[in-house]
Structure 1
């Protein structure tokens, strides 16, 4: 086998592995919606998010230490990690949890599937980022959003602009945070993913713990056993494990490829709701999932070698 053929095979294997990780991340984050539904009746949003990110930070710090990694000492890096923790966890987790208290989960799912659109819009207005925007990626974003709407149900769109506009704005604000987070997170490419995840979650905990204490007095709550178990699942699986995968994917698939998982996340949320909560699975959901997969493939697949400039 020639060197070029070996490199092509290796590249395809690597891409397959990264897409597999994107699927896993989407499955994990899709499951978080189910866990939030279990948690929110007895644990309010700020307290739930504070517990989630604090437990995740502890787990990540222990793993990073066990692997022999040292946390950065530069103040500039910690300032950047504070912004990352705000964009990736503290702000969107709280906004989504509060928003879903006031609007239907289906509408929230559609609104929360918009990060790739924000990333594409940001890329189109940036000088260097504009070069990465292709017709195929634009089509992929459109297919993915249509797939989410079909999966959750087009009737979920009927509430847009009429029901609880502030809650809708909150969920869209969370999507904007999710779009900005991977773009900002590219600056941590020289740090191990576990270190970036541990630092960002530690900063998110620093932001959320005072908010929970001041706004919700968590010591007065009486959460159910199921809610406590759900918070542990959110913290360990949906946050600690997910963040390690997430910061790896930012380096390998880039911001748009990584945020395309929001389409898959919506599909998995519907599938898990059908399996575990007894929710109805419709033929349009199957069509929607097919559109989602087509959109993700269009966004993440590289340009074939035969279409590239041979001089590059």
Structure 2
């Protein structure tokens, strides 16, 4: 497969992921009309796990084995599923879905900050860093939080905590779970199953309240679980596996664009020039972050790493060779299993 085909496939995967993930905040807000935050989290994890388990077994795969891998899965399930899902549901009790999308778009910055703290993001090039900053600036322009009277306080902090948790999870998953020979469908199913178990432990605290089901609430819960959790989570795993943790986090910058467009098309919300400008800045930033690093033809530029150590979420030489094999359709490890909406 040539590089242009690989780029097209990766771009389509990112677009599908952004569309599904970007609708998450709308479905959460609707589900909260009849469920408590913890109930939304439990249903989201449980039904999502069921969908992925069915997909896993019907495609001839099995759940991972071994205590070591399940310890990694449990840690990833906490930071990537149980904790951020609960924080989003808690935060959106006082934060509207648009602002939640903007705050979630800080995930790539948290990812870079974590990489810098760990000393593994020394090789980030200037174009990509500029793209990350442009993406964040674009989200601020879209939602203009200085014009928002509500949504501040603990709700906004909860959403920021969820975004930071995602960054921790993506880095951890990239280092401990992907490219280890286990199919991504098996890993994603196992992780949501573990998240369901973690959430069930907390149910006595705030998950036994009376529910108020309605067609809207049930539809929102199913869409949130199947589209925005099961399929989206599996696509995220594939991007981490194929392109690295930071590229997976970058998808978060497209979420505000998606939520604004959904508001305009579905709810008839008005698109002003500020919003259009902000979306253009976001798209430019995402394009810049997805550009490959420039070839090192001479002495490293000042401030850039001169070592061979890869940046956070990016494979080293052996990892790049393995990923190249996966992208080329070569065999088995990890096996490429697709769900609806994912390019093979």
If the length of structure 1 is used for normalisation, what is the TM-score? 0.89
Which residue pairs with 1:136 in the alignment? 127
Structure 2: tracts of 5 or more residues without a match: 300-307, 309-344
Which residue pairs with 1:215 in the alignment? 206
- Cα distance in 2 between the residues matched to 1:88 and 1:127: 22
Q: Tell me how far 1:271 sits from its aligned partner.
A: 0.7
Which residue pairs with 1:165 in the alignment? 153
Which residue pairs with 1:75 in the alignment? 67
2:214 to 202, 207, 224: 224
Which residue pairs with 2:192 in the alignment? 201
Which residue pairs with 1:3 in the alignment? none
CA offsets per residue over residues 201-238 of structure 1, 9 Å max, x none?
001100112323442315x3121111111111111111
Q: What's the C-alpha RMSD, in Å, of the aligned pairs? A: 2.1
Is 1:180 the counterpart of 2:168? The answer is yes
Matches within 5 A, 1:1-312: 10-131=2-123, 133-152=124-143, 154=144, 156-158=145-147, 164-186=152-174, 187-189=176-178, 190=180, 191-218=182-209, 220-304=210-294, 307-309=295-297
Give the length in aligned residue pairs. 297
Q: Tell me how far 1:11 sits from its aligned partner.
A: 2.1
Name the CA shift for 1:243/1:106 in 2 (closer, same or farther; >3 Å): closer
If the length of structure 2 is used for normalisation, what is the TM-score? 0.81
Structure 1: tracts of 5 or more residues without a match: 1-8
Asked whether the equivalents of residues 257 and 296 of structure 1 are also in contact (C-alpha less than 8 Å), the reply is no
Runs of 4+ in 1 over 6 A off after TM superposition: none
- Cα distance in 2 between the residues matched to 1:58 and 1:274: 33
CA offsets per residue over residues 273-308 of structure 1, 9 Å max, x none?
11112222212111111111111111111135xx33
Asked whether the equivalents of residues 143 and 295 of structure 1 are also in contact (C-alpha less than 8 Å), the reply is yes
SS at match of 1:56: helix
Name the CA shift for 1:310/1:134 in 2 (closer, same or farther; >3 Å): closer
- Stretch deviating more after TM superposition (291-300 or 10-19): 10-19
CA offsets per residue over residues 137-156 of structure 1, 9 Å max, x none?
2111111011112222x2x2
- Cα distance in 1 between the residues matched to 2:166 and 2:146: 21
SS at match of 2:23: helix
- Higher helix fraction (1 or 2): 1
